[in-house]
Amino acid sequence: MKKRVLLAMSGGIDSSVAGMLLTEQGYEVHGVTYRTYDSVTDSCISKETGCCTVDSMMEAKRLSEKLGYEHEILDLRDSFKEKIITNFVDEYLSGRTPNPCVVCNSDIKWGELMERADALDCQYIATGHYARVLEKDGRYYLAKGIDTTKDQTYFLYGLSQNDLKRTLFPLGGFKKDEIRKMAAERGFIKLSEKRESQEICFIPDNNYHRFLHDEVPERLNEIGKGNFVMTNGEVVGQHDGYPFYTIGQRKGLRIAMGYPVYVTEIDAKNNVVVLGKKEELLQKSFVVGNLQRMKYETLPKQGLNVNVKIRYRNTGSEGRIVPMGDNVKVELTHHASAITPGQSAVFYEGDDVVGGGIILSVDRE
């Protein structure tokens, strides 16, 4: 009996080749593309490279027809608005820098799609992510994809044991150039040359300032302008409102100090943005909450030596995580720059994902 799999399709090359591989491996595939937002608005025309656009949904549907399996479009706009966009805005209004892709993966791509998979009697769901699922002693965990330049486990640490048990990542054992070659060899030349989107899907122009203005103009007017202060407390100018700034930011500050300055801290309560020299961005200790444990059900009380990634393109820093109630304390071996509350910290042993969570606070030195 063939195993049924619900394949999440964006219309891009990765999920499309995942569909090709699954059909060739004998799975009974059912494709699904989710509509999460209105891609064309008065203030933002979606770009060709954006995912979840009407064009990309139609491309996914056409590919499914060519490969001979069913495809449907799920309208998740209300759920996406409630769970992702609202959280994104609230985080900026709280002075933190959110990571919407992490929340979307656990709450939308797996949360909503797992329900649909059950309704369609699909034993598995699959995506075009570059990652692998491993199992040891009945516990499932992620491992980095073979192509470490494309590895996407940083965004997937929030998946539960049930999610991982039922997930297939057909591309995890391949490199990106191999995927492009596969598409071309199967006659999908245009697909093999397709560019990738690097932006947040619901902000295809990559202008989150504009997005916040569109979503909560009254709240931003209430916040208004505030002070730029140096770490010594000296007021050196005015900013446009703390939600428009992120830790580590240098460009767009419009502050002339005779040397480069960076955002080192955001005080949302007082509408203050703290500036400092580059070396003042360096920290070693921080607290992580909203934990998802993956490789181990519990962490040893004495702590665990891990490699810590504090952003997607970060190569990682050696350090130690120690349980602290519901949170963990992270102590890095060497300083890292721009550790940002609201962003995710993901912990690795080699290629294996130990777990991850949200950076809650940073210990200032």
Q: Which residues are catalytic?
A: 104, 201
**End-to-end CA, the chain:** 61
Mode of pairing for the β-strands spanning 317-324 and 235-239: unpaired
Angle between helices 13-24 and 176-185 (to 10 degrees): 70
φ/ψ (deg, to 5) at 57: -65, -40
* Amino acid letter for position 290: N
Helix (H) or strand (E) holding 18: helix 13-24
Helix (H) or strand (E) holding 72: strand 70-75
Q: How many CB atoms lie within 10 A of CB 68?
A: 8
Contact 303, 323 (CB under 8 A): yes
Pairwise CA distance, residues 345 & 2, whole Å: 39
Residue in the structure block whose two tokens are 């001979």? 68
Close Cβ partners of 95 (under 8 Å, ≥ 6 residues apart): 242, 243, 266, 267, 268, 341
| Cα radius of gyration (the chain) | 22
Pairwise CA distance, residues 14 & 269, whole Å: 43
- What is residue 243's DSSP assignment? G
Structural tokens at position 235: 């007021």
Pairwise CA distance, residues 24 & 362, whole Å: 49
Pairwise CA distance, residues 82 & 184, whole Å: 39
Contact 95, 89 (CB under 8 A): no
How many Cα atoms occupy the beta-carbon half-sphere of 64 within 13 Å?
24
